[in-house]
Structure 1
Amino acid sequence: MKYYHALPPVLIGVSMVLVQSQIAVAISPQEVEKIGRDITVRIVDSQNPTNAGSGIIVKRSGNTYTVLTAYHVVKGDKKYQIFTPDGQNNPIRSVKRLGKEIDLAVVEFSSSKSYSVATIGNSDKATRTTTVYVAGFPAPRGAIPNPEFFLNKGQVNANGAAQGDGYNIIYDNDTLGGMSGGPVLNEQGEVVAIHGRADEQEIGEKSQSKIVTGIGITIYSALRQMLAIGVDVGVLPPDVVAATPKADDFYIRAYNKYRQKDYKGAIADYTEAIRLNPKYDEAYNDRGIARSELGDKQGAIADFNTAIKINPNYANAYNNRGNARSDLGDKQGAIADYNTAIKINPNLALAYNNRGLVSYELGDKQGAIADYNTAIKINPNLALAYNNRGVARSDLGDPKGAIADYNSALKINPNYANAYNNRGLARSDLGDPKGAIADYNSALKINPNLAQAYNNRGNARSDLGD
């Protein structure tokens, strides 16, 4: 029997008050957080509270407030409610999308109370390496059933031409589901973009660091979409000037191709981004991941090496190089890379998870569990770490503890086929073949190509005399 580890991985009369800073003076992170908290709302489907997103208060006219958000947060014929910063619940009066192919919408709600309105910043200045903060309200999930306001600091990876759904800015901030539609703030507390979504990653045996963790639409791009449908915004964004494509444009295009599993196409665009900007460490790192997806581990390591040479404090590149080294059988080299990644960024949960996997493979199951514990402490919603800890616990003769971990993984990600398969094995170990078969069935419903689940189900049926 084989256990599976986890692989990472309206038109509304809008007239905003837009105030642009004359002199860019950074404020403290605490001040940015207060601004973010005051202008960010939570948007919830009243019939399904787990279907939640965020939004930005951009205007008040009498008792009518206008909120800018991601369209996918409010699409569909549902009854949405807005929770304001003081916790008040207000029904949404209207929803209008900004452009047919753009993931933006403006919505209205009514309240006699006074709430802060966002200040709009110069999104053209939110260039690569610029510090930004992403704010929002994570959706209830897993170990966090009642999430609070969340704001995380990071930096821009690319700001270029719009791609799919109008997304044109990429940043490395850690984001969570439910934050879609929330503000991306600069160091002055001004809104420079609307957060669209977090990067998605398939579940597998170990986790690459995500190529990116957040993508969005710049505020200037959003304003242009409003103008296109005749919405008065009070301030005109700069005219778009035709220009030769820049490195950021190819980086964003490569990201879209990677998401579509066009790894060769992604590599070609990352290569062009690097040609235009030979110091583009993120492009080297991400090209390395794409090369790894195609099985070119040596080529991937070469790219990670270059990314690290450009930026010796690039924790994700060390983590990714560790993965490639592990795949090539260099377990000690992998652990050395994970150690360096953790030294640079002690909160890099994926590096702890991946070091745990290599420790497990080397027979140090207790050490593996310790790393999974740390990964989970850093990120309580890291389903793969729960799954992996469950595998180690099962091997150490603790099937009940293993089942508890698989339950946690499945609560976070109900479509986690490997966790169903592994829970089925633990149930078999506890003498529950019927429960095991039910889990194998669930695993196969999600992933009909999970061969081990067929084999394990056959064994369980045999135990029942079938």
Structure 2
Amino acid sequence: MKFYHELVPVILSVSVALVPHQIANALPAVEVAKIAKSITVLIDNKDVFGSGVIIKQEGNTYTVLTAQHVVSNPSQYEIVTPDNQHYSLNYNTVKKLPAVDLAVVQFTSNQTYAVAKIGNSDDSIEGTTAYVSGFPRATAAINNKIYTFVDGLITANAAKPLKDGYALVYSNNTLPGMSGGPLLNENGELIGIHGRGDEADIEVSQINSTVAYVKSGFNLGIPINTFLRLSANIGIDVGVRPPNTPVATVAKADDFYIQGGDKYKKGDMKGSVADYTQAIRINFKYVDAYNNRGVALANLNDHKGAIEDYNQALNINPRYGNAYNNRGVARANLGDKKAAIEDFNQAIQINPNDANAYYNRGIARSDLGDKKGAIEDYNQAIKINPIDADTYTVRGVARADLGDKRGAIEDYNQALKINPNLALAYNNRGLARSNFGDKKGAIEDYNQALKINSNLALVYNNRGLARGDLGDKTGAIEDYNQALKIDPNLALAYNNRGVSRYQSGDKNGAIADFNQALKINPHSADVYNNRGLARSDLGDKKEAIEDYNQALKINFNYADAYYNRGITYYQLKNKQAAIADLEKAASLYIEQGKIDFYQETMQLIKRFQQ
């Protein structure tokens, strides 16, 4: 008798970006890059590190402005200058500004280093160019802290800052470790300090076919004018006075925009939608607010509403690449993969270096069965961004689907090298190891995934399968119980628990589980096949045949159902029907390359013909 177990790999869903990526420069970007590199320093110690910017020289003493959280703990820090010289930082000289996430530190050197030119952050309005520089943290894949310079656009400059003084919002693709680095305008002037960004993917609590890794694109900085107004409190004078900006008495669109992004980051999607709506009421052409409201609506599963917002953003700016990307995400979630691919194509045409759009198009192609096309897109995304663990993970799934299990494991290994806390990659590598017959290695991976996130129902399901294959039926059932505790509608866990109960001799318990699985998913040929086996063993041959018939109605080429129905017909003394079913099963096994099953079936046919 042939049972069907369900192993579930994880396909990451398309990622969403909140902000546009266009460039309009006064100085050529390469000139701003030179300025940024000359003034940006690494602030390093054994536990925490970040970036900073040189804002003053007085004799041999240099003053560096950074984010306060970079130097929040008393410790031994080093300042690493652009010429790779290391200078010790005397923590007693650290000065923290009141009520904002800013601090200044000092180092001494007889070398000459460039000092940042202070700009006017009030002039940095929506749509103006911005640059961020700093030192992203090292990973297992890249073990050095490599200086990075990224461009983007200002998307908001709020009059009413968020907590800790954050008021500037920008689209730059920042990374962990860049906190404290300079935010420069198109003239290479310092207009803010970068402090918070879209620096980590957010894993949802469940793994299933629509698991999402969402990128918010909400980067925050503290305006340099804020520093200038507070610097006298810590006795720092950089020779520049802040402008006499009138105190805002009425909230402007940017104020609601930044609040909407802050609520989005905190998971308050309804509050985020409300704030973006207020921003749009004040400025009905606020393209970023339409785009971002669409993302928040999508997180509320209102994909049609999201598409309306993306359409509006594209009406205002037909070259808004991320709105095409995000509309493609919404269309994919509504099942229209072909239209989604058209949107991703458009996003890539606008920005050929949009790794997200390649990633998303790869997901859509994979969903349409084009695994090779998907891999081509993942390859391109990795070429653009070689340290994105998610892309290695989904490429591993596509390789596994094409039978390249070793290549899949290599990709999962690389993903985990970049992000050792990626539960999805552990789950998927466990599946690949299980398919190689390494059940113990698979269980180790499932254990690690559950150590990272103990609320993953499908990982319990997969570990249950591996335990069952090793003969631990009790442990398998415990895992299925846990999976169903987390997700009571997980039909495949009912199916798999039913198989374990059947194999443990509990045929009635098995049927109860198969019934529950079919109640949740009445279109599963596999569960009908399994229930037919249990019914047959309990003597309900006619009901068993009805189940096999139903399985074959759903899947006419289901070899196992023909095989099992053939045996049941033989038990009912209907030799002719039994042999016909077994011959059909044998032909399907040959087509599917299941030689062992074919040979077993042919032996049965010969026996039945005697």
Superposed pair shares fold, TM > 0.5: yes
Instruction: Report the alpha carbon displacement of residue 240 of structure 1 after superposing the two structures with TM.
Output: 4.7
Structure 2, gaps ≥5 residues long: 1-6, 17-24, 205-209, 473-610
Equivalent in the alignment of 2:221: 216
- 1:202 is the counterpart of 2:202: yes
Shift of 1:147: 4.6
Residue of structure 1 equivalent to 2:517: none
Q: Which runs of 5+ in 1 are unaligned?
A: 10-24
1:83-140 CA-to-partner distances (Å, cap 9, x unmatched) read 1010011111126353454221111112111111111001110111111111112221
Aligned twin of 2:242: 237
Which contiguous aligned blocks of 4+ residues in structure 1 show a shift greater than 6 angstroms?
206-209
Give the root-mean-square deviation of aligned CA atoms.
1.8
Residue 165 (structure 1) aligned with residue 170 (structure 2): no
Richer in helix (by share): 2
| Equivalent residues of 1:207, 1:350 under 8 A apart | no
Partner residue, 2:302: 296
* C-alpha distance in 2 between matches for 1:132 and 1:191: 10
> Any idea what SS the aligned residue of 1:26 has?
coil
Give the aligned partner of residue 512 of structure 2.
none
Question: Within 5 Å, which residues of 2 pair with 1:450-465?
Answer: 450-465=456-471
The answer to whether 1:179 aligns with 2:178 is: yes
TM alignment of 1:296-375, pairs within 5 A = 296-375=302-381
Structure with greater strand share of residues: 1
The 5-angstrom pairing of residues 235-274 of structure 1 reads 235-243=240-248, 244-274=250-280
Higher Cα Rg, which structure: 2
Conservation of the 8 A alpha-carbon contact between 1:59 and 1:65: yes
**Residue of structure 2 equivalent to 1:449:** 455
Deviates more, 1:264-273 or 1:159-168: 159-168
Partner of 1:18: none
- Relative contact order, CA 8 A, sep 6+: which one is greater? 1
Partner of 1:429: 435
Shift of 1:272: 0.4
Which segment is superposed worse, 293-302 or 129-138? 129-138
TM-score, normalisation: structure 1: 0.92
Report the equivalent of 2:129.
Answer: 131
**Counterpart check, 1:144 vs 2:149:** no
Q: Does the CA contact (< 8 Å) of 2:365 and 2:374 recur in 1?
A: yes
Look up the match of 1:15.
none
Counterpart of 1:381? 387
The letter for the 1-side match of 2:157 is N
Among 32, 37, 49, the residue aligned to 1:52: 49
Residue equivalent to 1:32: 32
Offset from partner CA, 1:373-414 (integer Å, 9 cap, x none):
101110112111110001111111122211111122122222
SS in 1 for 2:254: helix
Partner of residue 420, structure 1: 426
The amino acid across from 1:246 in the alignment is K
Q: 1:207 Cα deviation (Å)?
A: 6.4
Letter in 2 for 1:122: N
2:202–2:214 contact (8 Å) kept in structure 1 = no
Cα deviation per residue 1:305-352 (whole Å; 9 max; x = unaligned)? 001111101111111100110111111110000000000011110111
Give 1:295 shift: 0.8
Alpha-carbon distance between aligned partners in 2 of 1:120 and 1:61, rounded to the nearest angstrom? 16
Task: Report which stretch shifted further, 144-153 or 34-43.
Answer: 144-153
In the other structure, the counterpart of 1:13 is none
The Cα of 1:213 is off from its aligned counterpart by 4.7
| Aligned residues of 1:60 and 1:66 also touching (Cα < 8 A) | yes
1:119 aligns with 2:125: no
**Which residue identity lines up with residue 138 of structure 2 in the other structure?**
P
TM-score, scaled relative to structure 2: 0.71
Residue deviations 1:278-324 (CA, integer Å, cap 9, x gap): 11110000000000001111100000100111110111111110011
1:69 correspondence with 2:66: yes
Conserved? CA contact 2:201–2:214, under 8 Å: no
CA shift, 1:180, in A, is: 1.2
Say which of 84, 88, 97 aligns to 2:85. 88
User: Which deviates further from its counterpart, 62-71 or 305-314?
Assistant: 62-71
Tell me the distance in 1 between the aligned counterparts of 2:181 and 2:358.
Answer: 29
Partner residue, 1:5: 11
How far the C-alpha of 1:169 sits from its partner, in A, is 0.3
* Partners of 2:72 and 2:440 in 1: CA distance: 41
Q: Aligned letter for 1:216?
A: G
